[in-house]
Amino acid sequence: MAKNLVILESPAKVKTVKKILGANYEVAASGGHVRDLPKSSLGIDVEHDFEPKYITIRGKGDVLANLRKEVKKADKIYLATDPDREGEAISWHLMFALKLKEMPDKKVYRITFNEITKSAVKESLKNAREINMDLVDAQQARRVLDRMVGYRISPLLWAKVKRGLSAGRVQSVALRIICDREAEIGAFIPEEYWTLEASLKVEGEKKPVTAKYHGEGGKKTEIVNQEQMDNLIRSLEGADWQVTEVKKGERMKKAPLPFTTSTLQQEASKVLNFSTQKTMRLAQQLYEGVDLKGEGTTGLITYLRTDSTRVSGEAEQMAREYIVKQFGEEYAAQAVAVKKKEQKIQDAHEAIRPTDIQRIPAAVKEQLPRDLFRLYQLIWKRFTASRMAPARYETSSTRIEAGGHEFTMTASSRVFDGFMSVYTQEEDAEENNAMSQELSRESRLSLQKLEPRQHFTQPPAHYTEASLVKALEELGIGRPSTYAPTITTILARRYVAKENKNLYVTELGEVVNQIMMEAFPSIVDVNFTANMEALLDGVEMGTVKWKTIIANFYPDLEEAVQRAEKELEKVDIADEVSDEVCEVCGRQMVIKYGPHGRFLACPGFPECRNTKPYFEKIGVLCPKCGKDIVLKKTQKGRRYYGCIGYPDCDFMVWQKPSGQKCPQCGSIMLEKGNKLVCSNEECGHVMAANKE
């Protein structure tokens, strides 16, 4: 009987696939890549058409020896690595590492399945094909570009800043995006604005209604200071309040699309507080399979690296049947929403969905660890909701006039929950407000009170992992498989610190970003990187030759590296002599640079191991106790300004204090670009920085 060998990527899948295929199939795993570029050198022959020099990865010898034994026994070999670029490249490398091209008596096929289920695995055997070299070349192009950027620029950072730093094609742009946002926040000057609400008594009703000021003459009017507000309130004194228009309507809230890699990472971060890395690790487990009573190892979700929202016809049908049975015909979507196709989407892939919608979260709750269950439940609910009807709302919009001014009231009431019976998001919470009491043009109104409120505009929000993933995707930087490793790298290198979900650039991150922007502007240019991604997608589609991209990119990179080696000044952020004396041995302490930033250390190491925090004085005295304000860092590396007298004095601010006091309230003024802004948010006074 002919012997068949299936080679998977992950050992975790072997048992499940073996169970599906039965005795005629031997199933083995490569454990990921078996060949790669060498770590000790660039590994790309720039003199000879940029040919990569692949070697067997250290530690893979035994894996390959076992696979060769299995290959000898088999007549047909099915390369069943993951269904993406990376998986295609692993299959191609296996062809070389196992010398399959030199075995004419063996039949070699490439198969892919999007989920580890009986039907998907069996179907993949019917659709066996040759290796797709466009996919392989797209992976090679990315690998070679990333290697060139990393291996040519990182040593420069070691020489100019400190060892252990790294640059990367995607990570350096991600760092720049965070730095740009920090600069935006730092330079942000709040602007004052006011809102006005009127509490109105409706004749014959117990409860008053609240209307919001809109404007006059049919146009929206912005109120920007108290004087304007006072004038408005005066003009409303003794005015008649009259309903001038009531509009009724209906609004639909569409069901969300099923998850892609990016939207899963964003939602898991917002709802479950998972890092992108944790989300991908758990999703990998759900895809590869978990042990379920009576079923054995079972894959619970489809492949986790995808930017497609497409769903197979079979899954579509199963979802419809389930929804009609559980909720009723009216809850099933009539026409399912599909994301507008973009060229970059690998449409062979599906969205992330449960492999079987009948496997409801409650049925597996007891058999899954808590976090694995929570992620499965999120995916199940999102997919189920995506196949359901929209929620419907009755809406009411009322215009009220008083003294030539216009106030408005809007309300909505949900009349059909649709997909929201299964899945609601944060922004859905306010949708549940019932409509306020009915008003008509005949309603008689009288003013109870006016409530003016002062507000200040808020700076842009700090990036979180979720919003950074969203930004990278919208800007066309990186691909689903790169978001999590990119964020993990910039956190591990301590270029960025994470506190309460927010990402903050560290001092080290600012230094590295500054060097990259000065010496390698195109590498950290958002448009350049997005255009490069588009070219790489062109390789995948067979319209661009991968070596053409490399040949065009390398000379400019090499020229920039050589110029930077000559012109870039060394950043001395270590071993400056300070004016602090070591209290242990009397030597003059030096400023060193560690993983968390600068600190003071005794130069007498290892005889004297004394160290202490380094605080940079800024020449401004604390408004609370009169001691020095110094630049400090939180435990994770975020910078702030605080009193050196801590813990006796708790003064701290995030922006640099100026030493000047606010002429209006006496609080300390903070530096924001070329302006000074009062640290007292209720005051909000702004003046030019050079004003004495």
Q: What is the pLDDT of residue 430?
A: 47
For the chain, percent of residues with pLDDT exceeding 70: 93
User: Rounded CA gap, 436 and 413, in Å?
Assistant: 9
User: Rounded CA gap, 474 and 483, in Å?
Assistant: 12
> What is the residue range of 209's domain?
192-254+391-456
For the residues 593-613, what does the mean pLDDT come to? 80
Q: Which of 334, 290, 336, 289 is nearest to 310 (CA)?
A: 336
Q: What is the pLDDT of residue 205?
A: 84
- Residue ending a domain, among 523, 547, 567, is 567
- My answer on whether 220 and 166 are in the same domain is no
What phi, psi does 212 have (nearest 5°)? -105, 140
CA dihedral 479, 480, 485, 490 (to 10 degrees): 60
For the residues 429-442, what does the mean pLDDT come to? 62
Q: What is the pLDDT of residue 463?
A: 97
Strand segments (E) across 417-507: 444-456, 496-499, 502-505
pLDDT tens track for 63-74: 999 999 999 999
Strand segments (E) across 60-156: 76-80, 107-110
- My answer on whether 439 and 497 are in the same domain is no
Q: What is the pLDDT of residue 344?
A: 43
3-class DSSP assignment, residue 503 = strand
Q: What is the pLDDT of residue 692?
A: 43
Q: What is the pLDDT of residue 680?
A: 86
- My answer on whether 149 and 176 are in the same domain is yes
Q: What is the pLDDT of residue 339?
A: 55
Does position 337 have pLDDT exceeding 70, yes or no? no
Q: Which of 484, 638, 481 is nearest to 142 (CA)?
A: 481
Q: What is the pLDDT of residue 386?
A: 97
Query: 118 and 74 in contact (C-beta within 8 Å)?
Result: no
Task: Tell me, rounded to whole angstroms, the distance of Cα 368 from its chain centroid.
Answer: 26
Q: Please tell me the total count of domains within the chain.
A: 5
Q: How many CB atoms lie within 10 A of CB 274?
A: 24
User: Rounded CA gap, 80 and 481, in Å?
Assistant: 19
Q: What is the pLDDT of residue 349?
A: 82
- My answer on whether 666 and 614 are in the same domain is yes
Buried b / exposed e over 603-636, threshold 16 CB at 10 Å, is eeeeebeeeeebbeeeebebbeeeeebbbbbeee
For the residues 57-64, what does the mean pLDDT come to? 95
- Residue ending a domain, among 386, 413, 448, is 386
β-strand pairing of 4-8 with 25-29: parallel
- My answer on whether 265 and 362 are in the same domain is yes
Task: Tell me, rounded to whole angstroms, the distance of Cα 334 from its chain centroid.
Answer: 32
For the residues 233-239, what does the mean pLDDT come to? 94
Which residue has better confidence, 439 or 430?
439
Does position 321 have pLDDT exceeding 80, yes or no? yes
CATH code for the domain in which residue 272 is found = 1.10.290.10
Q: How many CB atoms lie within 10 A of CB 127?
A: 11
Residue whose token pair is 């939180």: 634
CATH code for the domain in which residue 433 is found = 2.70.20.10
Q: How many CB atoms lie within 10 A of CB 90?
A: 25
pLDDT, the chain, mean = 90
Ranking 498-502, 541-545, 629-633 by mean pLDDT, the lowest is 629-633
For the residues 452-478, what does the mean pLDDT come to? 93
For the chain, percent of residues with pLDDT exceeding 90: 68
Does position 340 have pLDDT exceeding 70, yes or no? no
Query: 75 and 4 in contact (C-beta within 8 Å)?
Result: yes
* 109 in catalytic set: no
Residue among 54, 303, 423, 593 flagged as catalytic: 303
User: Rounded CA gap, 33 and 46, in Å?
Assistant: 24
User: Rounded CA gap, 82 and 88, in Å?
Assistant: 7
Range among 373-382, 412-421, 668-677 with highest mean pLDDT value: 373-382
Does position 114 have pLDDT exceeding 90, yes or no? yes
pLDDT band at 296 (very low <50, low <70, confident <90, very high): confident
Ranking 167-181, 402-416, 466-480, 584-598 by mean pLDDT, the lowest is 584-598
Conformational region of residue 408, where left means phi above 0, alpha means psi within -120 to 50, and beta covers everything else: beta
Q: Which of 548, 521, 522, 537 is nearest to 478 (CA)?
A: 537
Does position 434 have pLDDT exceeding 80, yes or no? no
Does position 691 have pLDDT exceeding 50, yes or no? no
User: What is the pTM (predicted TM-score) of this model?
Assistant: 0.85
- My answer on whether 204 and 173 are in the same domain is no
Query: 574 and 614 in contact (C-beta within 8 Å)?
Result: no
- My answer on whether 40 and 150 are in the same domain is no
Query: 289 and 350 in contact (C-beta within 8 Å)?
Result: no
Ranking 260-274, 419-433, 514-528, 554-568 by mean pLDDT, the lowest is 419-433
Ranking 297-306, 328-337, 482-491 by mean pLDDT, the lowest is 328-337
- Residue ending a domain, among 435, 456, 477, is 456
Q: Six-digit token pair at 343?
A: 């060229």
Q: State the sign of the Cα–Cα–Cα–Cα dihedral 437, 441, 444, 450.
A: positive
- My answer on whether 368 and 297 are in the same domain is yes
Does position 424 have pLDDT exceeding 90, yes or no? no
Does position 616 have pLDDT exceeding 70, yes or no? yes
Q: What is the pLDDT of residue 191?
A: 87
Query: 103 and 154 in contact (C-beta within 8 Å)?
Result: no
- My answer on whether 232 and 329 are in the same domain is no
Does position 301 have pLDDT exceeding 90, yes or no? yes
Which residue has better confidence, 685 or 560?
560
Which residue has better confidence, 99 or 686?
99
For the residues 262-290, what does the mean pLDDT come to? 96
β-strand pairing of 55-56 with 76-80: unpaired
Conformational region of residue 103, where left means phi above 0, alpha means psi within -120 to 50, and beta covers everything else: beta
pLDDT band at 345 (very low <50, low <70, confident <90, very high): very low
Query: 355 and 299 in contact (C-beta within 8 Å)?
Result: yes
- My answer on whether 345 and 409 are in the same domain is no
CATH code for the domain in which residue 15 is found = 3.40.50.140
- My answer on whether 16 and 126 are in the same domain is yes
For the residues 157-175, what does the mean pLDDT come to? 87
- My answer on whether 656 and 680 are in the same domain is yes
Ranking 128-142, 200-214, 254-268, 364-378 by mean pLDDT, the lowest is 200-214
User: Rounded CA gap, 472 and 344, in Å?
Assistant: 14
Query: 171 and 486 in contact (C-beta within 8 Å)?
Result: yes
Cα–Cα–Cα angle for 123, 127, 131, rounded to 5 degrees: 130
